[in-house]
Amino acid sequence: MSLCYVVALLFAAGVFGGIVNFALARTEESTWPNAFWSVVIGLGAAFLVPLFLNTISSSLLSGLLDGTATSTDPFVFFGFCLLGAIASKSMIQTLTQKVLREAEEAKSEVKKLKKEVEPIIVKETEPEIVDNEKGGLRGEAYGLVGEEPKKIIRALGNSKYSRRTVQGISKEAGVSREKVIEVLEWLQKNSLGATTGEPSHYWSLTERPKCI
């Protein structure tokens, strides 16, 4: 079945559905311009059916276009388009809300994934070499004094793990759990560290952290 044939089905279902919609809602005050706009809205709803089929992962339309459809599929497709045109207002509103919701969910998933892989990317990226700079992480931990913060941040930044637990940092650095949490929260507050949050609370350095 060609693309032109599919478009013809969409157009026919849109017009017919718009007329049926107008007939169902017709009152004594209804006019021919009302019928015209019902047809226009019906056409819009019918041409949204391919998008609807895509959102439910249906292969109906692709089967029609690539020639693998059964003999009844054109009637099923026409029925979908006709139903969409008859219930045009609900169809358009529902589909719009569904697409926007899925877009927001996809955006949220991308942000979550970016947050998950950022520590790995930071750890695997070679740092810029600065003249006269010693190896290791550069000091930018203003406000942290003593050897304990240095040990904690070294344990966090120089480990083979991209994300670490409080227990692991505490054990490697030889510093109390309370002190580790204090330093980690300071790093997070100053955009030098990040945590995955509840329930695990894995900690990592951000792109900026450069410690002692």
Q: What is the pLDDT of residues 42-93, one digit of tens each?
A: 898 898 888 888 888 888 888 888 888 888 888 999 998 998 888 887 878 7
Residues of the chain with CATH 1.10.10.10: 147-205
Task: Indicate the fold that domain 147-205 takes in CATH.
Answer: Arc Repressor Mutant, subunit A (1.10.10)
Mean residue pLDDT of the chain comes to: 78
Question: For residue 12, what pLDDT band results from cuts at 50, 70 and 90?
Answer: very high
Amino acid at position 30, single letter: S
Question: For residue 208, what pLDDT band results from cuts at 50, 70 and 90?
Answer: low
Predicted model pTM: 0.45
Residue 126 has a pLDDT of: 46
Structure token digits, residue 118: 């950022």
How would you class 168 by CB atoms within 10 Å of its CB: exposed for 0-12, middle for 13-18, buried for 19 or more? middle
Neighbours of 3 (CB within 10 A): 9
